[in-house]
Structure formats: C-alpha cells, structure tokens
C-alpha cells in the first residue's frame, strides 16, 4: 500500500523469510574514546530490525560513522550493538570481497550482520553507479531507515533504489508523517528556536517567518539577533525576543533586563520574565516546533530549557522536536517519551522543511519496472 507519493512500507511485504534485506541505517553516533555516548538513533531503529528478524529475513545493516571528521571503522559500534541489543550480530570488516560474500552466504534466516563503514569507499559520497550496483548485488530488497541522512545524494540513499526493490522503514515513514504537519499545522503555530549553530538557524528562521504565528528566539541566535539589531528580518512582528537574561559578571550569575546588557556581557540563559512569556505562549498553542536549547547547557545553564520542556509536557498542542542538543537534553530529563515527536534529523529536518521532500524520499518512489513483482521482492543481480 502506498504511504505517500508512491513510497511503500517494507512492513507491508507479505513474506520476507529467507530474503536478504539491505537496511540503510544512521548509526553515526557520538563517540568518546571509541565508546558510544548516545544511542538514540539505534533505539529508534530497533523496531524495524526486530520486525525483519521476526519475519525470518537475513538483515544486512549498512551505515556510516565519522568522529570529529574522521571516517572510522564500525567495529566498536558493532561490539556495542552485540553487547546491548543483538548478541548474535556479526561484523564484516569490508563491504565487498570474499569475506563479505562468505558472511552473507553463511547467514541463516533471522540473523543480522553489519558491514564496514560506507564512507571508507569513495563511491558512497560520489554516488557512483558501479558502487551502488555492487551494494545491490548483496541483497534482495533495500530499506531506507535513515531519514536523518536522506538529504544526502549518496549511493546508499539515492543510488541503491535504482537497482533493488526499495522501501521505507517505519521510522522513516513516521518522520515524514509527523514533519509534514508543519505545512498545515493546527493554530496557533509556535516555533521555538534556540541553540548555537547560527547559520543554519537563520536559514530555519527565514523559512518559517511567514508560516509561524509566533517565533520564540533564545540561545545564540537570539544573542546574535539582538546585537546585530535584527539581522535581515528585524521588522518581523511575530518574533518574540528575550525580555531578560542570565549573564555572568564577576564570576556570578546575574539576571538583567535586555536593555541593561553591556557590550561585554555574554547571555547564558533566558531570565524568569522570558520564561513566563514562553509558558504563556505554549499554553495557547495548537502546534509547536522546537529546535535548539534556550541556554548554554554545557555550562550548566539549564533553567530556561528545563522549564520550557516541562511546559511542553503539560501543553495540549501537537509537538515536534528536532536537533541533537535538544534531544540529548530531553533524554537527560527523562522526557523523551512524553508528548513529543522527536525527529532523528538535523540537516535533513531543515532540508525537508525547505523543500517539502528529500533526495532519499524521491529515490524511494515506485518505479513500474523495478517493483513489478507482486510481493515486491526479487533478485536484481
């Protein structure tokens, strides 16, 4: 059954027993000393993997992993997955070659393996057709469960669907279903925008300046906006800026009105009057999109972000949350399962809102020849 614009769900395939399923996941997790710091994306992907294993499919996971710009082996990640989730998981330190062929041939129904880092081969980022064909030759069906990298025109995202029956996983479909609400949201629609990545935030802001009823700005973007006197959009009447803020003077935290901020002051958090205003706006909202914390969390300035999160839990609005720092904070506060749809996307989130689609979505649209088999599964090579 078509879910949206010709994209199909893999869970609608009648039988996957014995079929080799090549699953593109995003396990690009934060590491410290080769230890996983946050496995949020893994947990969001578990339902698909477990469903495929229950259907007796042979699951082949593919992902990329970069740590501080360095492309590294997935071995430590595979060890983590084996220890915490799939005790029989096997790691193959290659993408092709005899080791990969042997490992796949030895797979039994209901088993899972993970191949080496996709980005160790230039063909991945280059979207090389030969590379895509070689990946496709490993399996019977392709599944995209990596919405968070589906803004990339990489081989594992847009190349593979040309050579295998291609489907979306449940996480992928859930992302699109929930994020599409932004295009026709319940009113009032409030955008809460914080965080520290100023360049992407302003792009985000410019996309929603005419769509949102209210835009609450905090964090580094609010600091920049105030100091630059509004950047290019200072005349927008729906922008709500902080009324007061927490600054650090003489090594002491001090609450000051925005008009009393000195040139040398750095704003570390929103003040109590601003928090009260945010809570009032949240209580009136029909739909809320939140991206980025309101304070300098790394320095312990959590009050504004924490009280905003607590107000959202009590709100009756539909809520979508995106951004790694925001998600990490909600996880720390044990609020991830409370009233929020939490997106795994960062850049993908922004691109989706900007374009209403992504390269990875377009690549999954049904091709009449490729998906001509009734049950949607066939061997292309």
pLDDT, tens digit (0-9, with 9 covering 90-100), for 142-196? 999 999 999 999 999 999 999 999 999 999 999 999 999 999 999 999 999 998 7
Instruction: Identify whether 341 is part of a domain.
Output: no
pLDDT for residue 5: 67
Residues 210 and 238 in one domain: yes
pLDDT for 2:
41
Question: Between the ranges 35-39, 91-95, 245-249, where is the mean pLDDT highest?
Answer: 91-95
Q: What is the CATH number of the domain that holds 217?
A: 3.40.50.1260
Note whether 50 and 93 are same-domain residues: yes
Does any domain span residue 333? no
346 inside domain: no
Instruction: Tell me the percentage of the chain whose pLDDT exceeds 70.
Output: 92
Place of tokens 């129904």: 109
> How many domains is the chain built from?
2
Q: Predicted confidence band at 338 (pLDDT cuts at 50, 70, 90)?
A: low
Q: Are residues 10 and 129 both part of a single domain?
A: yes
- Residue 146 in any domain: the answer is yes
Regarding whether 311 and 205 lie in a shared domain, the answer is: yes
Greater confidence, 380 or 26?
A: 26
Q: How far, in Å, CA of 150 to CA of 27, rounded?
A: 13
Give the whole-number percent of the chain exceeding pLDDT 90: 68
Q: Are residues 96 and 207 in the same domain?
A: no
Is 228 a domain residue? yes
Same domain as 168, residue 80: yes
Mean pLDDT of the 257-270 span: 87
Query: How confident is the model at residue 309, as a pLDDT?
Result: 94
> Is the same domain home to 146 and 259?
no
Q: Output the CA–CA distances (angstroms, integers) from residue 29 to 74, 80, 101, 317, 346, in the order listed.
A: 10, 11, 27, 31, 13
**CA nearest 311: which of 331, 339, 334, 337?**
339
Q: Same domain, yes or no, for 43 and 138?
A: yes
109 is a domain residue: yes
pLDDT (average), residues 220-249? 78
Give the pairing of strands 35-36 and 31-32: antiparallel
Give 175: exposed, middle or buried? Use CB within 10 Å, 0-12, 13-18, 19+.
Answer: buried
Least Cα distance to 64 among 175, 189, 149 occurs for 149
**369 pLDDT tier (thresholds 50, 70, 90):** very low
> 87 lies in a domain?
yes
Question: Two tokens at 340?
Answer: 């929020």
Nearest Cα residue to 167 out of 345, 19, 365, 18: 365
> Quick one: 167 and 122 in the same domain?
yes
Mean pLDDT value of segment 225-234: 59
How far apart are the C-alpha atoms of 50 and 47, rounded to whole Å?
5
Among 209, 234, 238, 23, smallest CA distance to 114 is for 23
Mean pLDDT, residues 291-312 taken together: 94
Same domain (yes/no): 221, 137: no
Q: Is the pLDDT of residue 374 over 80?
A: no
The answer to the question of residue 287 being in a domain is: yes
Q: Which of 63-77, 268-282, 318-332 has the lowest mean pLDDT?
A: 318-332
- Do 67 and 213 fall within a single domain? no
* DSSP per-residue codes, 178-245: HHGGGGS--SSEEEEE-SS-HHHHHHHHHHHTTT-SEEEE-HHHHHHHHHTTTTT-TT-TTEE--SEE
Supply the range of the domain harboring residue 223.
187-316
Parallel, antiparallel or unpaired: strands 318-322 and 341-342 = parallel
If asked whether residues 279 and 193 sit together in one domain, one would say: yes
pLDDT of 340: 84
**pTM of the full structure:** 0.87
Q: Which of 234, 188, 233 is nearest to 214 (CA)?
A: 188
**What's the distance, Cα to Cα, between the start and end of the chain in Å?**
26
Residue 380, CA distances (Å) to 6, 139, 140, 168, 169 in order:
20, 9, 7, 18, 20
């Amino acid at each position: 059954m078509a879910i949206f614009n010709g994209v199909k769900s893999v869970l609608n395939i009648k039988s996957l027993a014995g079929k080799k399923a090549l699953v593109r996941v995003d396990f690009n997790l934060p590491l410290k000393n080769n230890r996983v710091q946050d496995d949020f994306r893994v947990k969001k992907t578990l339902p698909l993997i477990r469903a495929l294993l229950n259907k007796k499919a042979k699951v082949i996971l593919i992902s990329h992993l970069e740590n501080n710009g360095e492309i590294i082996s997935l071995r430590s990640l595979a060890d983590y997955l084996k220890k915490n989730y799939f005790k029989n998981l096997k790691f193959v330190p290659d993408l092709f070659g005899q080791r990969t062929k042997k490992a796949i041939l030895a797979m039994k129904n209901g088993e899972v393996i993970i191949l080496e880092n996709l980005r160790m081969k230039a063909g991945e980022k280059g979207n090389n057709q030969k590379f895509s064909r070689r990946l496709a030759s490993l399996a019977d069906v392709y599944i995209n469960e990596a919405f968070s990298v589906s803004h990339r025109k990489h081989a594992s995202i847009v190349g593979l669907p040309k050579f295998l029956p291609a489907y979306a996983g449940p996480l992928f479909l859930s992302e699109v279903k929930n994020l599409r609400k932004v295009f026709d949201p319940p009113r009032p629609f409030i955008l809460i925008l914080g965080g520290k990545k100023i360049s992407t935030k302003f792009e985000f802001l410019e996309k929603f300046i005419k769509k949102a009823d209210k835009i609450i700005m905090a964090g580094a973007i609010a600091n920049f906006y105030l100091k630059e006197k509004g950047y290019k959009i200072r005349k927008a009447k729906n922008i709500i800026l902080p009324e007061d803020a927490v600054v650090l003077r003489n090594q002491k935290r001090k609450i000051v009105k925005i008009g009393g901020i000195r040139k040398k002051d750095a704003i570390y958090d929103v003040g109590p009057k601003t928090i009260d205003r945010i809570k009032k706006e949240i209580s009136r909202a029909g739909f809320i999109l939140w991206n980025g914390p309101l304070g300098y969390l790394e320095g312990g300035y959590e009050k504004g972000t924490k009280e905003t999160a607590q107000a959202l839990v009590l709100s009756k609005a539909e809520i979508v949350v995106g951004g790694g720092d925001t998600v990490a904070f909600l996880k720390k506060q044990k609020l991830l399962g409370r009233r929020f749809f939490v997106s795994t996307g960062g850049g993908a989130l922004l691109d989706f809102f900007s374009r209403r689609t992504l390269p990875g979505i377009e690549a999954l649209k049904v091709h009449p020849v490729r998906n001509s088999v009734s049950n949607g599964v066939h061997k292309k090579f």
